[in-house]
Amino acid sequence: PIHPASPDRAALSFPLATLPEALPGLDEPAAQALIFELTGFPEALAAVQREHMATPLARQLLAIAKAFSAFYTQCPILKPGTEPALRDARLALCAGTARVLRQGLHLMGIQAPEAM
C-alpha cells in the first residue's frame, strides 16, 4: 500500500537498519554498479540546488533504479542455499537503496510504495 509522504516516512530510520559484520558478495559487478550509482545521489542533490531544477535528481534516481534491477536479477538474495553472510550483505544493500530512493522520491513530491 502507498502511504502519504511525510518527513517521518521519507527515509527508513537508521536505527532500524543494521549492517552486517562483513559485506561478502558486494564485489559482484552488479553490486558495484549499484553502489556506484548510490554514491552519485549527494552530487545530484547538489546539482538540484545549483541549477534549481529537479532533472539531475530524477536522472540519478532512474540510474539507481536501473542498477538495482540489474543487481536484483544477477545477485540472488533469498535463494535457498544462499550463505547467511552473503544474504545479509545483499539485504543491507537493498535497504540502503530503498532509503535513497524513498528520500529522493520524497524530495520530488512523489509517494514511494511501501512494498513492490
pLDDT digits (tens, 9 = 90+) for 3-23: 344 444 444 455 555 665 667
Kindly state the average pLDDT of the residues 31-39: 94
Instruction: Report the 10 Å Cβ neighbour count for 37.
Output: 22
CB 105 within 8 A of CB 111: yes
CB 108 within 8 A of CB 5: no
pLDDT digits (tens, 9 = 90+) for 52-110: 999 999 999 999 999 999 999 999 988 999 898 899 889 999 999 999 999 999 999 99
Residue 75 DSSP symbol: S
More reliable by pLDDT, 113 or 59: 59
Q: Is 62 helix (H, G, I), strand (E, B) or coil?
A: helix
How far apart are alpha carbons 31 and 36 in whole angstroms? 9
Non-local (6+) Cβ contacts of 113 within 8 A are 1, 2
pTM: 0.79
